[in-house]
Amino acid sequence: MDLIFAEATPPGRGGVSVIRLSGTNARLTAERLVGQMPDARHAYFRTLRHDDEPIDQVLAMWFPEGQSFTGDEVAELHLHGAPVISRRVGSALLSMGARPAEAGEFTRRAFLNGRMDLAEIEGLGDLLAAETEAQRKLALRTASGELAQKALEWRQLLIEAGALVEVSVDFADEDVPDEVPNRVFEAIAELREALQRELAGFSSAERIRMGFEVAIIGPPNAGKSSLLNRLAQRDVAIVSDREGTTRDVIELKFDLNGLPVTFLDTAGLRESDDAVERIGIDRALNRAKSADLRIHLSRDGDIVQELWHPDDVIAVSHADIYESDADLTLSAVTGHGIDKMLGIIGEILRNRVFSAGLISHERQRLEIITALDAVEGLGGLPTELIAEKIRVSAASLDRLLGRIGADDYLDVIFSSFCIGK
């Protein structure tokens, strides 16, 4: 493949900047800058020169074809982290025939060279985007090949069942033992149970990846915006005594003990003749309905009946001013009850993700549904049709890993990757 390069570390000033080269003559190109590097996977401390001018003192190394992240021959140059140095080295590489990599191109090459499957790449993308511990753990499991291993086990059941069915087809006139078709259905039953179990955990896994939304709802001046500001520990929402101050939904991303949560400050819910306020109230209702959880906040413990769900949290506000015997009282001024509220929300959300599976992308879910649907209701079907349904199911699992039909997804997946990955 042609030689590409990119800065693998975040752009800007830092301690170290790593420039990665991948493709034909990666080692030779790097050696033109730093001198010979006889041994692979060995770090060499060298002065990097171009046109007989010293540019930086660097650590340089290379990896043979087939033994690198991309599967190509790869070289790395570890520079001091001044932007002027990385720009100067980039100019040198351009003059030597290398080209800048596109977003995700290193990972694309890893896929094309068989170093990673499509599910692992999706996991890697999630890992790069992870902001909380729960997201990191889920993404790492997929990026490490755990989903791929499961898919191979599922496919092995299909191979076993398919082989037994083919025996029945090819030797229909022979004395085939009765246990052959029985084992076919046993293997398919094992597969269906495993796929159903994975699908059952999709919703929880998707919420971990995408994050939960918790809407703060209630009447005007209930203290919703003040609560959001207290959580943010800064003023992110305008607070005033005037009813209808909040019009748009204001979001606050929050790491709740490893779970990604977005708190939503919404417009006060009331009847209003103000057209603009009415739009804000409609938006508040729509976002609150789609949220994973709602905090019903008011001075007297009332709930918004049309939005109520048994898992929702009821809180009484202004605990620094008014006394209440409610279970959960809050003060955005003193912080009273905030930790208790976060603990309640965290417990509810942790219970929801307890059964999280590995699949967290809609593409993955659809392929597993297709694989499952193909092997539903096989009893009583002709053996030729059973064999065809098994092949359809196996093809879906192949698409899950990108072994076939991956072209439709690659551009979408890699567009979210950084240039140096």
The CATH number for 19's domain is 3.30.1360.120
Q: Do 340 and 226 share a structural domain?
A: yes
Q: Do 321 and 265 share a structural domain?
A: yes
Domain tally for the chain? 3
The residue assigned the tokens 């991309």 is 70
Is 320 a domain residue?
yes
Q: What is the pLDDT of residues 19-73, one digit of tens each?
A: 999 999 999 999 999 999 999 999 999 999 999 999 999 999 999 999 999 999 9
CA dihedral 27, 32, 38, 41 (to 10 degrees): -40
Q: Do 145 and 90 share a structural domain?
A: no
Q: Do 366 and 311 share a structural domain?
A: no
Residue 390: domain span: 119-201+359-414
Q: Do 409 and 340 share a structural domain?
A: no
Hey, what long-range contacts does 361-368 have (CB within 8 A, 24 or more apart)? 361/122, 361/206, 361/209, 362/206, 363/122, 363/409, 364/119, 364/122, 364/147, 364/400, 365/199, 365/202, 367/396, 367/397, 367/399, 367/400, 368/195, 368/198, 368/199, 368/396, 368/400
Is 111 a domain residue?
no
State the Cα–Cα distance between residues 26 and 18, nearest whole angstrom. 15
Q: Do 341 and 394 share a structural domain?
A: no
Is 20 a domain residue?
yes
Q: Do 311 and 224 share a structural domain?
A: yes
Q: Do 243 and 347 share a structural domain?
A: yes
Question: What string of pLDDT tens digits covers the 421 residues of the chain?
Answer: 899 999 999 888 999 999 999 999 999 999 999 999 999 999 999 999 999 999 999 999 999 999 999 999 999 999 999 999 999 999 999 999 999 999 889 999 999 999 999 999 999 999 999 999 999 999 999 999 999 999 999 999 999 888 888 776 655 555 545 444 688 889 999 999 999 999 999 999 999 999 999 999 988 888 888 999 999 888 765 554 555 445 578 889 999 999 999 999 987 776 666 666 677 777 888 899 999 999 999 998 899 898 999 999 999 998 888 888 889 999 999 999 999 999 999 999 999 888 899 999 999 999 999 999 999 988 888 888 988 999 999 999 999 998 876 666 666 666 667 666 6
pLDDT of 175: 52
Q: Do 252 and 170 share a structural domain?
A: no
pLDDT of 244: 47
Q: Do 221 and 150 share a structural domain?
A: no
pLDDT of 406: 66
Is 293 a domain residue?
yes
pLDDT of 214: 95
Q: Do 225 and 177 share a structural domain?
A: no
Q: What share of the chain is helix, strand, coil (3-state, %, to 5)?
A: 45, 15, 40
